[in-house]
Amino acid sequence: MSYKLPANYQFVTGSSLDRATLVKFMQKTYQELFPQQNFSHLAVTVEKYFSAQTPVWWVEEKLENSTAIKVGCLWVGNGIDQVNADRHAHIFLLYVAPEHRRQGIGKSLMQLGEDWAKSRGDRQISLQVFQSNQPAINLYQQLGYQVQSLSMVKYI
């Protein structure tokens, strides 16, 4: 499938060398929603779950001086449907830097992840999104995602 990225942007397949960058992008994602929190614990999550079976794709912006900077990423792994026990793709992280949003980068990354899931024979793809993250919810709904369950929390 052809993914539509704006001019001067390109996809790059990640590798195990990208752990630190993946942690940084995860921290950016959460800090946007919860700016006062410390998210250093996310390094443990990446260490535990990032592997060859949980790929990451980057979007890089090509700059005039022939360098490139990472401006977005998609990290996908495995989930288990709790109703029918089927393994399926699960999106661990979608992130696009604020100044690069609303250009189709997130949508293209999601299409890339969906195609990866289809190539494995998955029949569904899941993700978790904070209820307060309305721009992300809007994107996911545009792409056909729907609520299957709600995660509820009670602080005690």
Helix ranges, the chain (H): 19-33, 42-49, 105-119, 134-142
Average pLDDT over residues 72-78: 96
What is the residue-averaged pLDDT of the chain?
Answer: 92
CATH homologous superfamily of 9-142 equals Gcn5-related N-acetyltransferase (GNAT) (3.40.630.30)
- 137, two tokens: 């919810």
By the 10 Å C-beta count (0-12 exposed, 13-18 middle, 19+ buried), 125 is classed as: buried
Helix (H) or strand (E) holding 26: helix 19-33
Average pLDDT over residues 20-42: 95
Tens of pLDDT, residue by residue over 93-127, are: 999 999 999 999 999 999 999 999 999 999 999 99
pLDDT of 86 above 90? no
Report pTM: 0.91
Domain ranges of the chain: 9-142
